[in-house]
Structure 1
Amino acid sequence: MAEGPATNKMSEAISRALPFLRRYARAVTGSQKRGDEWVRLCAEVAMQQPDLVAQTEDTKLGVFTLFHRLQQPFGGLEQAGSENSVSGRLKESLTDMAPLQRQVLLLTVLEGFTVADAAKILGIETEAAERSLDEARRELQRVAAVRVLVIEDEAVIALDVADIVRNAGHQVVGIAATEKTAVELAKQHSPHLVLADIQLRGGDSGIAAVNQIMRSINVPVIFVTGYPERLLTGKQVEPAFVISKPFDPDLLRAAIAQALDTVAI
């Protein structure tokens, strides 16, 4: 049977939601490979049975709800972090949270859902989601301090990011506006984490800077971009975490904890 305009429109809407589901799945599973496998399953079901998504007014909400409905019969999405990871050595991580706390936190601060929408996605009461979010935020305060290198060419934004990092309890070892400076600071300070913008001063690339840094040290990276879907194609090795400007302190804390937990050193 030929697809009609409504079906095509729904398929396009589902496709637009998938990069964000991919980001969430990787964060909640702690694995790019495992997260992408779940997303592929969800995408196949959504495309074959779009009515399962069409039951909600918002397509992204419907896709995320379907994602959790599909994984429930097979157990939790989460898996334990590696003892060889940075966070394993620090004894604190995002995966120390109860699964529900972690899911509510990521759905709200990472994906921008309301607490009520997060509750709907997870199939729980709004009050339970609110309690889980409060508990998750308290847990984030316990994540051990790490050394962070900030790669950002806009001075005001760089200072704001540095303040957020420090207020989250971490140490900023340097701020770099160019590829050369970023590489030099990384060699000098051996950061636990790199927080990098994509476009730098003078046409330099944050991605190129990170690639150079990774030749000498294996360090988790958080990329900052206004277009996260462009980095979340599932077709290449990608950052441990991708966040969008502007971001709030809770999101950065969650990103730092998650990046440290998923990348072995």
Structure 2
Amino acid sequence: MTTAATRHKSTEASKDQGLQQLHAAFEPALEQVNHLIIERMQSSVPLIPQLAQYVVAAGGKRLRPLLTLASADLCDYAGDRHYGLAACVEFIHTATLLHDDVVDESAERRGQASANEIFGNKASVLVGDFLFTRAFELMVADGSLEVLRILSKASATIAEGEVMQLNATSDLTTDEATYLEVIRGKTAVLFAAACEVGAVVADQPTERIADLRNFGENLGMAFQLIDDVLDY
């Protein structure tokens, strides 16, 4: 008889296998992105890189930057702009994790003590803000107003999604439509943006950009749905 625990393990194994294949396919490119992330985390204020490195080293999947790299590759992009944008996407994601753990009063993240548990809420919020500014520096450095529009809009929508979740958590009348809107905002839009900018830097037609954006959003919705289900 198949138990919930067995299904959980099977789902996790399938997710890990697919992610390992993606990592293997883009390992050299991801190494460049990781170097850029470490470089941009540096600051003359010691606590900033210390806290940021703690979060980055906590075992993140780098799924969102991988989507940017994979989308650009799918579109036969031969330049190097996607490295900076992949790092940008990861900075946005990491900043939201720091803020999210403070809002949720989380003591654990990825199986270890959360940053706010170790360094305190104030430091976590401020370093999250720092990482957001690094993300916007990378957007500006890319030089594309379209990229800036996509990623800044995604950042705003993520914040809206988090506020919606805050309201919905204590509302017993929250329905399915509201839940789906929450996860679209807090998770799926960044998946969508990660895929979209990979196509934009490759100068793809509007239709293909939309296809990759929609793929990213649907993947993000599925990712969050599964993540939420596995909590129970």
> How does the TM-score come out when normalised to structure 2?
0.31
Question: Which structure dedicates a bigger proportion of its chain to strand?
Answer: 1
Q: Which has the higher helix share?
A: 2
**Bigger radius of gyration:** 1
